[in-house]
Amino acid sequence: MTKDPLANAIIYRKVAETMRDTVYAQMIWAIDMLGLTAYFRYRVSPLEIVYELTGQRILFKGADDPRKSKSIKLSKGYFKCLWFEETTEFDGMDDIRTIKESVIRTVDQAFTFYSYNPPQSANNWTNAEALIPAKGRLVHHSDYTQVPPEWLGKAFIADAEALRDANEKAYRHTYLGEVTGTGGQVFDNLEIRKIPDEELNVFDRFMHGHDFGFAGDPDAYVKAYYNKKLRKLYIVDEFYGIRVPLNRLAEEIHNRAGNGIVTCDSADPRMIAELRRLGVQAMPAKKGAGSIEHGMRWLQDLSAIVIDPSRCPNAAREFSTYEYRQDRFSNFLADYPDKNNHTIDSTRYCVESESTARYATTFNLKGL
């Protein structure tokens, strides 16, 4: 704001009543830390901070009804900075998009900040959103160990250390901001990270799987590499789309799989035949009684499933948010829900040749 005389800022929390003692006080503290207190005027009705040299403002708003943001107007300049504090309090990205579309206008470059402690469940919308790669997006994770201790005080640190000793999992979530899970996650062997080109270039044999989309479900193709020695599966490429024309689907898969065999959902032999006609080496998965449970258990027993979120955002989202079904008392059942699992199904087909293989073991009996 001090560098751009037309820049204003607006800060949102879900509930307006919480703002004065949280983000408003935090901004006063930050201005003081920067040595700029003499340049700003603070008002509480309405809640705002004004830069006295130019009249630029920092506004504070509740988002109980996101549509109310459409009535916000500035007498001078534009909103260049938008901050959603405690983002997890919001109902989802639809509410946030409604606010952004109303607030961020007539400016070439704006900055949106989302701050929150990651929810315990990977299935929460904020954790899923953070996995989606977007141009210009930076995801930063920090915790209390990375700030000056005097900002926190001895009592805060003592409480953190006491919880660490009493309940290490709760400590990791509450104080380190880790997504520790609710106990219902199906895959606890995930590594969601970038797979650099130099690592990818040494992979020598890829496997391919495809799950057909029906009605509103997407077509989902995955490309993977399996390191048998380390028992690690690397998911390195995907195609994901709803109601994709057959010619384009065949082209997208062929561009990724080449002449490799693509193991497909056997529920639609007609689609497999059409893909083969269009040059894809499509083959039906064997399936059979217990095949889903066997394939899922095989994936769960791997030492790691490595997924590159920039190359495979949908696989990263589905694998990390997939949880066991719950009964009406919120108890987890040993049952895999058939929803939001399209890349998971295509991965099961992809690795079928490995997961169903029977390996012979040779024993050296010499000397016995």
339 vs 349: CA distance, rounded Å: 17
92-118: burial string, b at 16+ Cβ within 10 Å, e else: eeebbebbbebbbeebeebebebebbb
Collapsing DSSP to helix, strand or coil, 211 comes out as: strand
> Rounded to whole angstroms, what are the CA distances from 218 to 126, 225, 245, 294, 341?
22, 23, 12, 24, 10
Answer whether 307's CB lies under 8 Å from 190's CB: yes
> Rounded to whole angstroms, what are the CA distances from 41 to 8, 26, 44, 57, 247?
14, 15, 10, 10, 63
Q: How many CB atoms lie within 10 A of CB 30?
A: 10
Residue 50: phi and psi, rounded to 5, are -115, 130
Of 17, 48, 85, 86, catalytic: 86
Clarify whether 52 is annotated catalytic. no
Residue 232: phi and psi, rounded to 5, are -115, 135
Residue 349: phi and psi, rounded to 5, are -65, -40
Location of structure tokens 């087909």: 349
Give residues with Cβ within 8 angstroms of 324, minimum separation 6: 184, 185, 186, 332, 333, 334, 335, 336, 337
Give residues with Cβ within 8 angstroms of 76, minimum separation 6: 6, 54, 55, 56
Angle (CA) 152-160-139 rounded to 5° is 75
Active site residues: 86
